[in-house]
Amino acid sequence: MAKKPLAYSRDNRSPQPLNETVSKYMRSNKGKNTKPELVFRKALWEAGIRGYRLHWKNAPGKPDIAFPGKKIAIFLNGCFWHRCPKCQLRLPKHNSAFWEAKFTRNVERDKEKITALMNENWTVLVLWECELKRDLSVLVQRVSELLKNQT
């Protein structure tokens, strides 16, 4: 059986996916307003925590949530894309060299963003997708306390 060509043009930044279903799934991943971000922002709002900026361009690394007046930056990292140290997810089986390089670069970029923020005296909080699923209220409380203690 001959392989069907994919229904979109490729930019050659990533390897050819095995099939259209995998390709469609991978294309659907977003960089902003992800499900973990929306869940956490809703929880902050319900807790009365407001005054934050989303993907604020004036802060190094454009944190997912920033409290500019308090210099608090929050990154909400997906366990798969940012390689959660708690979950220790395996690499995809196909094109593993590509994925290993991609994930390594993602982790390096995360560290660079955190370092840049800390160099400008920001407090940085990295929250993982798995933590949100387990302890959402605890994380909201942590942000609340951080805001109260920050001068």
* Per-residue pLDDT tens over the stretch 22-79: 555 555 555 677 889 999 999 999 999 999 999 999 999 999 999 999 999 999 998 9
- Walk me through the domains of the chain, giving residue ranges and CATH numbers: 31-149 (3.40.960.10)
Long-range contacts from 127-131, C-beta under 8 angstroms, 24+ separation: 127/36, 127/40, 127/74, 127/75, 127/76, 127/77, 128/77, 128/79, 128/82, 128/84, 128/86, 128/87, 129/36, 129/76, 129/77, 129/78, 129/79, 129/84, 130/79, 130/84, 130/86, 130/87, 131/86
pTM of the model: 0.80
Mean pLDDT, range 107-115, rounded to an integer:
96
- Determine the pLDDT at residue 67: 97
* 126-140 confidence digits (pLDDT tens): 999 999 999 999 999
